[in-house]
Every structure is written in structure tokens, then in C-alpha cells.
A and B are shown apart, each in its own frame.
Chain A
Amino acid sequence: MTGTPARTALVELSGVSKNYGNVRALEGVSLEVHAGEITCVLGDNGAGKSTLIKIIAGLHQHDGGTLSLDGEETRLSSPREALDRGIATVYQDLAVVPLMPVWRNFFLGSEPRKGVAPFKRMDVDHMRRTTRAELLRMGIDLRDVDQPIGTLSGGERQCVAIARAVHFGAKVLVLDEPTAALGVKQSGVVLKYVAAARDQGLGVVLITHNPHHAYLVGDRFVLLKRGTMVGAYTREGITLDELTTQMAGGNELDDLRHELQRAQRPGAV
């Protein structure tokens, strides 16, 4: 893998833009996703992260620029097509159906079947067994795959969704703020599974607004701000401090600090 220096990226966006009516949501964004690497997309609320994800996941189509999969320029028309081409997306809140058992969720949309035409049925035993085995492989030991997935914790649910994507042979895993609603410990668990997916050779796109989480696992960093790309770095090209400063808006953070200090003074006297 490392022997070929100019290998083609699994996903490559170059100069991609997207408009919603007359609102420009995204302008001139470029990024690369390679096998066995994690590309982090960082940005504040409204920076265009969700729009970017929806283009890669096939929910929306880009208006300008190019989207290439394995070096071939393309246009994804539906989430199904994206899935068929090996791009699995784990959304922050709509990854699963809470009332359904874990094993039904695991195979939702890609149920294995047995039997002949009018009596074709799901291979339930296989589904239960596989779910348990795949989750174990990711290091999640579930007591009961029949429990509704809504009874799992947020972190566990993310992990099930990640394990699902890995199982279905995803080449690219897109994660939408997997740690946003989680506590410190849970975030650590999720990041561990993200790294596990990377180690299995997947290309990962990690969307986050937390530079600390991004720097823990990321190989490439793309910074978005108000729909445009304000920076793209490899891990060698940036330190955590620089990333944090960039992310927080650099000079804006200094301004904010001054303002807050002044505001504190009257109370301290």
C-alpha cells in the first residue's frame, strides 16, 4: 500500500460547490480520502459540513466541481448508489431505528435471504449470529442482540452503526459528528472503533467540530468556514495547537478573549 506513492484516492472532491436556491452552502471544497487513512473535516456550525456529507453520501448532488471515486469522475444519485459503490454513511442521529432489535437494525436495507421466490425469507439465525460476531470483532460484547437498539447508549449505537458499515464491505466510511453528543469516556470508545475501522483498511471521513478528537486519529485535516475551505493539512503539516487555533477562528479567538476579560473586570472589583 505504501509502495505506490501516487495511488488514486478512494474519494476525491475537487472544487466542489453546492447551492440551495440562491444560498451558497458550499464553495470550492477539495478533499481526498485514502484507504487506511482518516480524513477529518472540521468546522463550526453552519460551516457546510452536513452539505459536504450529503454529497458524499448521495443524498444531494453537487452543482460544481468534480467528485471522483477510485479516480473515475461520477455523480451519486441516491444513498443506495453510494452504498453500492462502497460508501457507507453513519449519521449523527438517524443511524438506527430505536424500537427495532439490534440484529434487525444491523442488516436493515441489506437483509440476507434464503428460500425460493414466494417464500423468500430472511435468514434470521445467520443475521443474529453475524451481528453478535461482528460486534465482538469490533470489541463490543452485547448481552442480547434482541434488545431494541434504543436501549443501548449513544456510544454503543454509533459503534453498532460503524460495525455494520464495516461488515457490508464499505470501502469508505463517512462519520457525521460521531462524538458530538457523547461524554469523554464514550467519545474515547467511539474513536477506538473509528481507528479499528481504519486499521481494517477503510478510508474514513470524520466530520467533527472537536479538534482534539480529530487530532487523536486524523491523517488529513480539512477546515471549513461559512461554506468555503480555509485550510487543508496533512498530519505532518500542523500541530494540535495550530489546528485548535485555526478551528476557533485564529484572530477571532484573541478578540473574544479580550472582550471577555474586559467584561469580567467590573465584577472582580
Chain B
Amino acid sequence: MSAGTDLAAADERILQTSPLRKLLARPELGSVVGAIAVFVFFAFFADSFLRATSLSTVLYAASTIGIMAVPVALLMIGGEFDLSAGVMVTSSALVSSMFSYQMTANVWVGVGVSLLVTLAIGAFNGFMLTRTKLPSFIITLGTFLMLTGLNLGFTKLIDGTVSTKTIADMEGFPSAREVFASTLTIGGVGFKVTILWWLALVAVASWILLRTRAGNWIFAVGGNKDAARAVGVPVTKTRIGLYMGVGFGAWISGQHLLFSYDVVQSGEGVGNELIYIIAAVIGGCLITGGYGSAVGSAVGAFIFGMTSKGIVFAEWNPDWFKFFLGAMLLLATLLNAWVRKRAEATK
């Protein structure tokens, strides 16, 4: 409304408030402030926290969550949840391991089959969501329970126990381990390769979100589905694509899980879906969709890594970890809400 009345002063005002406003309007600002606070906190209370090896450990913990937090954040920006994300990681590892073992094939064949399966699970979630129009909470809760059952059931049926047989002596295992679970030594400190996967995913996701047409569609689908449909955005395709993205993330995480240990426990992964969601929310994703960033999810995962390992470095009882995580979630969400309000008020 005011645009019509004070046009003359307009340009001047942009110069004055723009840099600050732009900074405040970043979705990840709240989480960056939180990350700095957590970092300072543990640097102060845990003596070994500032060592390079500690950093490597923290980054590794962050990357295992971060790889999944990226597609989960995109999905949340698109307005939906995926509660099956945690167990899908385990499914991915199980499919890969069991397929290779049972077919006595090169492990890379199993890795490929696993990718197809996780993408199919993602597509199934997306298809069910767009077809039935039920809330994603219900649909993916169903998938979550079904996958949990299938993981245990199939593993017991085929291997007789709750874990898979080792595939360490099979063809292709060394090269697959190289790709999914190796350690790179930089300056005498070992860094897990998952950190690279994580950073690459963040970069690609940020690019998609901010610079491509698909990114525009993701924001629009999460922000106002009906408006998006009315201006010609392929809403169904976008949402199915987002779920397949979660499948892709689960594939990478699952292969890492498999190739770092060579056996898989079929009951793993339950509860992790909430940690991915927490990382995305701490990183500034709006739980109702339409707002957030991939970088934010990475900062959220980093906070998670610092807290989980910082407590160990500080030699505290790890039982306290969940309390910290919960408090962090509340604080970060409040901070994000406050920052966003400020950003909109200074327009």
C-alpha cells in the first residue's frame, strides 16, 4: 500500500536496509547462530573438542545424518514428510547385501538393484500421496511399518538370523567400499568419504533449489499447492520426484552402512527419520512447507554431530544427548520464527 505514497524515498531505503534484511531473511541464519553457540559451548567444556581428529569425528557423525537431511529438507520445503526415511536406509543396505549374496553376483550388481528398489519405494510413497490425497504422515507411517516388517521378515527368512551374511570376500567389495566407506587422509587426519557425499549433495540440492525450474516448483508446491497447479506447475511430478530424492539419499546412506561393516542388522534405522526431520527443522525449514534451505539442513546436521560427539568429548553421560537435542529443536524453532518475523517486519 505504501508503495504508491513514498516512491521518492524508495531507492534510498533499499540501500540502507537491504544488506541486513537480506541476511536476516536467510532461512539458515537461526541455525548458524545456534551452531556457533553449540561450538563455543563444547569448545569451552570439552578439552579435546577443538582437535582435528575430533572435528573429523564430528563431521562424520554430521554427514551420516546430513546425507539424509538434504532430501528430507527438500521434501519438507515441498510440504511433506517421510517417516519411512530411517528404515529405508536399512532396506537399501539389506537389498544390496542379500541380492549380491544370494545371486553370488558382483556386489556392484546388488548396489544397482538397491538403487532401483529405493527409488521405487520413494515413487510408491509419492504415488500413494498424490493418488489418495491422504496426509503424508499416514502414507509414510504405513510405509515405515511395512518396511520395518519386511526388513526383519525377509532377513530371517533368507539368512535365518536378524543380520545378513558377510559379503566382505565377494567380488567388487573393495571398490565399493572405496566409494561408500573409505577414509581420506588430509594433513594426517582421516576424514570419512561420506563427508564428501554430504557436501556434494548439499551443493547439488542448493543449486536445484535456488537456480533451477524444479527448485521454483518445490517452493511453490510446498507454499501453495493449488496456486502452483493453477499456473501450470506439474505438482504431481514434483512431489513424486521429491520422494524419489529421499529414496536416493537412503541408497547412499544404506550403501555406506553396508560397506563400512560388511554385515547389516535388519532392525536398524528405526527412529532416525525423526532425526533427519529435526536436522531440517533446526536448519530453518518451515514444517508447513514452502520455506527452507539445503544449507540449513547441513547446519542442522552439524549441530547434531557436535552435540552427539561433544557430550562424549566432555566425558558426560551420553544419556543426556536426547535432552540436548530436544532443547535445541525448541530453541532453534523459536529463533527461526523470531528471525523470520523480524525479516518480514523490516520490509
Q: Does A142 contact B (CB under 8 A)?
A: yes
Total number of A-B contacts with CB less than 8 angstroms?
94
Binding site for A on B (CB under 8 A): 1, 3-4, 7, 10, 13-14, 18, 22, 25, 207, 211-213, 215-216, 219-220, 223-224, 226-233, 286, 290-291, 344, 347
Residue A97 is within 8 A (CB to CB) of chain B in the complex:
yes
A55 to B215 alpha-carbon distance, docked (Å)? 30
| List of A residues within 8 angstroms of B227 by Cβ | 91, 94-97, 108
Q: Does A131 contact B (CB under 8 A)?
A: no
Complex Cα gap A147–B344 (Å): 8
The answer to whether A122 and B213 have CB atoms under 8 Å apart is: yes
**Contact between chains at B3 and A144 (CB < 8 Å):** no
- Nearest neighbor of B233 in chain A, beta-carbon distance: A109
Closest-CB distance, B218 to chain A (whole angstroms): 11
Most chain B CB within a 10 A radius of its CB, from A83, A97, A104, A121: A97
Q: A108-B231, A110-B231, A143-B3 are in contact. List 7 more A-B contacts (CB 8 A).
A: A79-B231, A83-B232, A96-B224, A97-B220, A99-B223, A99-B286, A156-B1
Interface size class of A (residues with CB under 8 A): 35 or more
A108 touches B233 (CB 8 A): yes
**B291 / chain A contacts, CB cutoff of 8 Å:** 99
A97 to B225, CA, bound (A): 8
Q: Enumerate chain A interface residues (CB-CB to B < 8 A).
A: 57, 59, 79-80, 83, 89, 91, 94-100, 104, 107-111, 113, 120-122, 124, 140-144, 146-148, 151, 153, 155-156, 186, 189
A143 touches B14 (CB 8 A): yes
Chain B residue at smallest Cβ distance from A164: B231
Nearest CB to that of B215 among chain A residues? A122
Pick the residue among A91, A96, A99, A156 that contacts B3 (CB under 8 A). Answer: A156
Distance to closest chain A CB from B237 (angstroms)? 12
Is the beta-carbon distance between A141 and B3 smaller than 8 angstroms?
A: yes
Contact of B18 among A104, A124, A144 (CB under 8 A): A144
CA distance A155 to B344 in the complex (A): 18
Contacting residues, chain A, for B4 (C-beta < 8 A): 189
A80, A89, A124, A189 pick with most chain B CB within 10 angstroms: A80
Q: Report yes or no: B223 in contact with A97, Cβ–Cβ below 8 A.
A: yes
